[in-house]
Structure 1
Amino acid sequence: MSQARNGRSEWFELSEEGWRRSNRARPLGQLVREALQNAFDQRARRVKVRLEEDEVRIEDDAPAGLARDEFAFTVFLGEKDTPPTWRGRKGRGLKEMIAASDRAEVETVGRTLVFDDTGRHVKANTRRVGTCLRLFRRTSVRERDEAVELLRLTIPPPGVELLINGRTVRPPRAKDSLEDCPLETVELHRGVERYVERGTRVDLYHPRPGETPHLYELGLPVEPHHLPWHVDVQQRIPLAAERDAARDPYKRTLAAIILESLAPELSRQELSGAWVTEVLAHFTLGEEALGAYVEKVLPARAVLSVGPRVDDRARQLGAKVVDLRGMPQAALEQLETVVEAADAYVERMEGPPRDVVVQPGAKAERLVGVVRCLSKELTGREVGVEFFERKVRDPSAHVEAEYDSERRVLRVNMKGRVRLDDPLEPRTLGIILHELAHEAGDEHDFAFIDRLEGYAGKALRCLVDRPDLLAPYASPRKRTG
């Protein structure tokens, strides 16, 4: 067993077949993306990618070319000290592309590294700048189409020309840039990865027609995400082992920073996405961002649902009741700090209950008789009648009457428009029918409307078939007139 340079025995050996199988399984677009990463890091000004049935070619004009031959074949060997703004990591990308091929050539400044059935060879060439990587492997039309679709999402660095199969890749339309965003990143120090938090710029772009919004790392697409825009982080992102996905906590933090920064400028549609709900469930937003969300997403005079009866009363008083109980609890609790609940709204509009029970005496007998007669005819049972006076702060909180379905009592507000002296007056009859229709529930829903229409029709039919039914309850003036 040989000795490593640090004196420790070499404990492991690499299975080339296993390494090849592992990388052969990776999507073609992800492999080629590694080459773009290397070219951009080496300050190439022009990068050309050609995907053909039997060959993949990536060529760049980076000034120095490949720094060391070992970078092409020694697994995990790479630059030992690189800042977070360097795309490459762990020295794997180039080796993975070569391993996924049947044979390969790495043509760099002054030499070409050949990988074929006979092994690895180096031969001289006359190249004076850049690197040309040729990967020989058979690919299907579908593989190439999917690779082109991914690679054309790339946002090249400023001043860099990227061509995919002869077509220039142009950056999408910019939306915004956020400076000094505190995000976790990865730096390499003496070959060891360290995770640190660092302020960086985050660029947002409008996806082109047909594009799915993606998370980017330094211009290279990492994975689709559910934000409305392409989001390009200008430093390394902590990624999963295959470098095709970011960690969930990282993505939530990034979304929270974007929402906190842009909420006042975003449209209702942009703020209505699931990504905003997820942020609300995991982060406490500042007053300005939370206020912008409420103002743009919820309707004017919105109140939070409490229960059918209170919600219905809030609607009567002009509120727009929104039921957010399907939201995560943490998100709902945060909204409750700025959006009034339906019961609080009703109390604010009506003031604390200040009903005064009234005994109107003989002058209310005809009205009580009409209520009992109609309730027996329409609902099959008599209901009781109570009278009260209610003082309210706001005229819109005024009620004519209300029905207590638990006690089966129709309560009449003496300050309302119910006519005790003429209970057969049309408005009074309408109020009585309306309240009797609440026998089965407090809400003014379609079921209520259906009951009210049924009661009105039934009452009219009773009057046609039995014209003397309500005659005893008419006022004396009406009876003699």
Structure 2
Amino acid sequence: MNNWFEVDKEGLARLLERRGKHFAVLELLQNAWDQSVTQVNERLEPIDGRPRAWLQVEDDDPAGFKDLSHAFTLFADSNKKADPGKRGRFNLGEKLVLAICNQATITTTKGTIHFEDSERRASRSRRERGSLFEGIIRVTRAEVVEALSVVKMLAPPRAVQTTVNGEILVHHEPLTSFSETLPTEIAGRDGTLRPTQRKTEVKLYEKRDGEESHLFELGIPIVELDAGEPWHLDVQQKVPLTLDRSNVTPSFLRKLRIGLLNQAYSLLDQTTAKADWIQQASAEKDCSNEAITALLDLKYGPKRVVFDVSDSEANNRAAAEGHVVIYGGSLSSGQWEDVRKAGAACPAGQLFPTARPEFSPDGESCFVPISDWTPAMRVLAGYLKRVGEALIEKQLQVDFFARASGPNKSFGASYSPGRLTLNVASAGAGRYQDFNDADVEEVDALLIHELAHDWAANHLSDDYHHALCLLAARLKKLALENPEIFRIR
């Protein structure tokens, strides 16, 4: 009978080269672990003088192969497809390994299949229990060393004693674990694999020296993680993979990383919090409030504010009080959405509001008309105007503000270019009823403080500090050269 398809063994072998020869060791181990086994033994030993190695895998599954033809039939219907707790789905494992073998034998409870010289033959030899794979694979000594190093990363099932070259593989205790709903594939009644979402456990393992972070599927490393993840991640169900099991979908990694951040943020430190996967996961709408808050704690500390475009002075005051000011470009748009949702940082103006005159809620002006000024207010305004204009060498308008609203009602005065406004409602309002020589020192200090804003708005800037020094020097010079200007009249 002629089949529709023929498979070129050497062509398949070349396609598999990109995965590295260690896949052969992993494929046979995972096939064994998917069975009802308590013991799995594997040997991988280089053959002297040849780029070959002897590979042997033996298990104690009582039933062995359920169908011996599956040893050589690509894509035969697998009974593992319907079980998300099994690794297999395409019935490819042994066939992929056979593609890189020069010769091989599979012996199980149903009989034996020999593969040699481009031929396959069966024999009646059989085992009472379990299966045995023996083959000579095309590998260099360096590839053998690599394969054995990958084996050390494995997380074997606790109930299965697994040995490689006589050495028992140690069961890794997870650093922690969490539950997450992740994409997987499960076969329906018709045997067709269909994508679905299923809640499963994800285990985190510490990396050992020299290891790169990997995504595991039920204890088997399948894909190297490349976004700075500090641990191995072991998903306890089928992971949606490409046909050759070399990669996972971006959507799967996205969902996994969000769950990882939400559940394991307490394990992060200032270094690991800078990783690419953190930046990706913390920009997703499903990032939890606790996770984004913890990230900001690590990155900026607990004393932090968001740069306030509506209150530049508040930003400066926040910095002076030891707060880190987070600027717009420091986070992505998605991260900012999560920060706002969680209330993880507030604008500087909410913590350090800058005092400023405001109109009353009904829109009525709060400035005191000149006709309502008291005699003391007129004397004070005249003093400030005379001295102020002499100090800044330009015209100065003086106003009084009668009613304050907003977060800080007790400010003494405010300054805008060429205009000084005093708050009658401030703590020092008594001077507006009786201004005399005893008040001059306090008034001069206020005048210098406000007029320095003619040079700089930021109280903490060098320019503002320089302006204070300059005005103090000018005030001294003015007092020496024109003392009459300071007379209260």
Q: CA deviation at 1:280?
A: 4.4
Q: Which residue of 2 aligns with 1:345?
A: 350
Q: Equivalent residue for 1:136?
A: 137
- Rounded to whole Å, the distance in 1 between the matches of 2:482 and 2:247 is 77
Instruction: Answer yes or no: is the 8 Å Cα contact 2:100–2:137 preserved in 1.
Output: no
Normalising by structure 1, report the TM-score: 0.76
Deviation at 1:28, TM superposition (A): 2.0
What are the equivalent positions in structure 2 for 1:89-108 lying under 5 Å apart? Answer: 89-106=89-106, 108=108
Comparing 95-104 with 354-363, greater Cα deviation is found at: 354-363
Tell me, yes or no, if structure 1 residue 363 matches structure 2 residue 361. Answer: no
2:401 to 380, 384, 388: 388
Match of 1:409 in 2: 419
Distance, in Å, in 1 between the alignment partners of 2:176 and 2:147 is: 28
- Unpaired runs of 5+ residues, structure 2, are 361-365, 371-376
Aligned-residue Cα RMSD (Å) equals 4.2
Question: Per the alignment, do residues 370 and 443 of structure 1 end up closer, same or farther by CA in structure 2, a change over 3 Å counting?
Answer: same
The counterpart of 2:336, out of the listed 332, 335, 356, is: 332
Q: Percentage identity across aligned positions?
A: 25
Residue 463 and residue 293 in structure 1: after superposition, are their counterparts in 2 closer, same or farther (change >3 A)? Answer: closer
* Distance in 1 between residues matched to 2:437 and 2:445, nearest whole Å: 13
* Residue number among 54, 57, 60 corresponding to 1:59 in the alignment: 57
The change in CA–CA distance for 1:343 and 1:99 in structure 2 (over 3 A counts) is same
CA contact (8 A) 1:312 1:442 kept: yes
Q: How many residues align?
A: 456
Q: Deviations over 1:225-272 (max 9, x none)?
A: 444433322110111233232222222223334444566x55665777
Match of 1:323 among 301, 324, 327: 327
Contact kept in structure 1, 2:112 and 2:126, CA below 8 Å: no
Amino acid at match of 1:138: V
Query: Judging changes above 3 Å, is the alpha-carbon distance between structure 1 residues 460 and 287 closer, same or farther for their aligned structure 2 residues?
Result: closer
* Amino acid in the other structure paired with 2:307: S
Aligned equivalent of 1:232, options 231, 234, 253: 234
Shift of 1:87: 0.6
Which of 44, 52, 71 does residue 50 from structure 1 map onto? Answer: 44
What is the CA distance between 1:158 and its match in structure 2?
0.9
Q: Is the 8 A contact 1:184 1:195 kept in 2?
A: yes
Alpha-carbon distance between aligned partners in 1 of 2:217 and 2:56, rounded to the nearest angstrom? 20
Mapped partners of 1:219, 1:31: distance in 2: 16
Q: Which moved more, 1:39-48 or 1:417-426?
A: 417-426
What residue in structure 2 maps to residue 79 of structure 1?
78
Other-structure match for 1:5: none
**92-101 vs 366-375, which moves further:** 366-375
Residue 486 of structure 2, aligned match among 458, 463, 474: 474
CA contact (8 A) 2:273 2:299 kept: yes
Distance 2:109 2:165 in 1: 24
Structure 1 match to 2:16: 23
2: CA distance between counterparts of 1:48 and 1:188? 30
Range that drifts further, 34-43 or 163-172: 163-172
Could you give the per-residue CA deviations for residues 140-199 of structure 1, whole angstroms, max 9, x where no partner exists? 52x4454344332211111323344555433444233335x4332212345421222333
Counterpart contact for 2:111–2:127, Cα < 8 Å: yes
Secondary structure at the aligned position of 1:25 is classed as: helix
CA contact (8 A) 1:75 1:91 kept: yes
Q: 1:289 to 1:465 in 2, by over 3 A?
A: closer
SS in 2 for 1:282: coil
Query: Matched residues in 2 for 1:475 and 1:171: separation?
Result: 90
Change (3 A) 1:35 1:335: same
TM score, norm. by length of structure 2:
0.75
Instruction: Give the aligned residue type for 1:83.
Output: D
Q: What is the 5 A alignment of 1:109-124?
A: 113-122=113-122
Structure 1 runs not aligned, ≥5 long = 3-9
State whether residues 48 and 164 of structure 1, in contact with CA within 8 Å, keep that contact through their aligned partners in structure 2. Answer: yes
**What is the one-letter code of the residue matched to 1:232?**
D
Q: Note closer, same or farther for the CA distance 1:427–1:195 as it changes in structure 2 (3 Å cut).
A: same
Aligned to 1:200, the other structure's residue is in SS state strand
**Contact map agreement 2:317 2:352 (CA 8 A) in 1:** no
1:394-440 per-residue CA deviation (whole Å, 9 max, x = no partner) reads 66x74344343xx4534444526698757996765565555445446
* Aligned equivalent of 1:246, options 245, 248, 259: 248
1:161 maps to 161
Q: Which amino acid aligns with 1:28?
A: K
